[in-house]
Chain A
Amino acid sequence: MKSTTEAATEIAAISPRRFLPPVLKSVPYYVLSGAAAVVFLFPLAWATFASVNGTPGSTQTEGFGVGNYTFLWDWQNGLPTYFFNTVILACGTVVITLTVSLLGGYAFARFDFPLRNTIFMMTLAILMVPVVTLLIPLLVLLKFLGIQDSLLGVALVMSMFQLPFATFMMRVSMEAVPRELEEAAQVDGAGTFDVFRRIILPSVRPGMVTVALFAFLAAWNDFITPLILIATADKEPLAVALTTMREQTIGIINYGSLEAGVVVMALPCLILFFALQGQYVRGFMSGAIKG
């Protein structure tokens, strides 16, 4: 009698692909995966190269240098303004999304109240409606609220788009926290907010990081929301400002500076991605579960 592991190895040994010599088997794999990796990495590498490499028509006309970046620094309202606007939008969205979804998630996970399921389903229903369908009336509505053409208004709208994922994530994370600790705290006379602050919040930190990461990336990169809701140039975030750069001059476009702008926009996202890759994959999987 053979052990199961021995039998398994034997089966593996006779499976068809094992008949190929090892080198031949791995050559197509390396060619294919190597080509794919080049295709995916090349545009990023090229954009970085093109932003510092001199070309006619760009500010940096020859050799290597940061001419394209210095041009961008003073371009129109100046890179610092656009960068600051983008940071405000992204951080504002993170703060608003976290605050609303933490409180909401706590309510859904731990309390029973009238219309609980209806409110939860309504929050998730935001996902079903195209962004643009809401942006056209929001253009009018923000004016009515007196926050038209403002970073605050755009951050509030961006937070609303984040709410389904964030609320779902917070509810699931909080439901996974064991109730024993809370019950003990309640017996000791702790109020519901004490429980939230001292027991729930520390336990859902990974979920908070995921929600914050996704809200930040979405707000940092959102294009159509500020394009429709922002009318004044000095309130534009990077994505919108750089696109007007593309439209700016007919004929010769300052492509070098455009790619410099792309690098400025992409860099924070890529840094966050490398720092929080695990969170990215994890959050994304819990996002996938909802489907």
Chain B
Amino acid sequence: MGVEWSSAPASRSARQGGWWTTRRRSRQLMGLLYVAPTVIFVAVFFIAPLVLVANMSASHWTLLGGNKGLNLPDNYSAIQESSLFWPAVVFTIEYTVLATVMLIGLGLGLALLIQSGGVWKGFLRTAFLLPSAMGLASASLLFYGLYSNQIGPINPILETMRVTTSPIQFLEEPLSALWWTTFLIVWRFAGFYMLILLVGLQAIPRDVYESASIDGANRWDSFRFITIPLLRRSLALSLILCITGSMLAFDQFYILTQGGPDNSTVTIVELIYHYAFQSQNLGTAAALSVVLLGILLILNAIQFLSLRGAEEFR
């Protein structure tokens, strides 16, 4: 029986062989033709730069002079010896932690605010999302004016309301520069994370809450033992996007603080830009780019594994 079953398709394909394989082959060819632009794009603008950046990181390569031959460990040791490197790493991590906590915390808060209903929830959702339609660069330029002493409205308003006596110096101190830049980021991105978390919240069935409240759970219990665990996937996605995005912070610091005061807000990407265009040393910039790629791949692997671990544990 079994033998007859398995031999049947074979004999049929043998009989129809010629026509069938030609047709299959022509469809394969058509497929390759349609995917060709994608392949060219990926090869020329993604794979080739990846190979080139590795090569550049191992070479003495200047912005104007081009390739001047291999110098392998030099670019990497130059990074380590630079007085800007470790502070930039530490600052980028500090900023990433702060931005991630603020964005996910406030994003969840806003999502719960929308989820709790109310007459104007459509208006609220639009209001929170509106800044995410703007570019980060234009948002940073907006806040550059908003924080300025010359035109900024916040200090005059606070003084009229007699909340503060001396004006807030938004970007003059290292710590306040970090906080006020994070405020801009929260303004620009909180709506985005609200949306991810809102999608997750809406997927939680209502009857889970109802049966919990029958069992005597209060609102905090429901939040802690129902909302958070069932929101795990959305939270994990937000976490990955937020950490990756913050590790690559550039626009906001380049525009708002220009790395200052006293180089206290230089991020890793800003340092790459600095190497490439101020020092005009593409080799060092490439080496730091490779280091950054390595850091991100490790971070992504850790997050991926811990997410998968959490799934299996469940």
Contacts and interface: CB of A to CB of B under 8 A. Distances in A.
Contacts of B226: none
A100 B247 CA distance: 30
B130 A44 contact: yes
Interface size class of B (residues with CB under 8 A): 35 or more
A57 interface: yes
Contacts of A57: 150-151
A15 interface: yes
B78 interface: no
Interface string B86-128: 0000000000000000000000001001001010100110111
Interface stretch (A72-80, A176-184, A203-211, A256-264): A256-264
Given A113-B28, A159-B41, A36 B46 contact: no
A17 B219 CA distance: 9
A106 B296 CA distance: 32
A232 interface: no
Contacts of B218: 16
Contact of A160 (B45, B138, B273, B282): B45
Nearest to A38: B127
Contacts of B53: 133-134, 136-137
Contact of B148 (A15, A253, A270): A253
Contacts of B52: 137, 140-141
Interface size class of A (residues with CB under 8 A): 35 or more
Nearest to B214: A11
A111 B31 contact: yes
Interface string A25-51: 010011011001101110110110010
A90 B37 CA distance: 20
A130 B293 contact: yes
A233 interface: no
A43 B142 contact: yes
Contacts of B126: 277
B213 A11 contact: yes
Give 9 closest A-B pairs by Cβ, nearest first: A221-B135, A111-B31, A104-B38, A273-B133, A223-B137, A113-B31, A107-B34, A107-B35, A137-B52
8 contacts: A16-B213, A55-B150, A114-B28, A137-B56, A256-B151, A269-B134, A281-B195, A288-B196
Given A156-B45, A256-B151, A269-B134, 20 more contacts: A36-B110, A36-B113, A36-B128, A40-B127, A40-B128, A43-B142, A100-B41, A112-B28, A113-B29, A129-B46, A130-B289, A136-B272, A139-B282, A157-B45, A220-B135, A222-B135, A224-B273, A246-B144, A277-B129, A284-B195
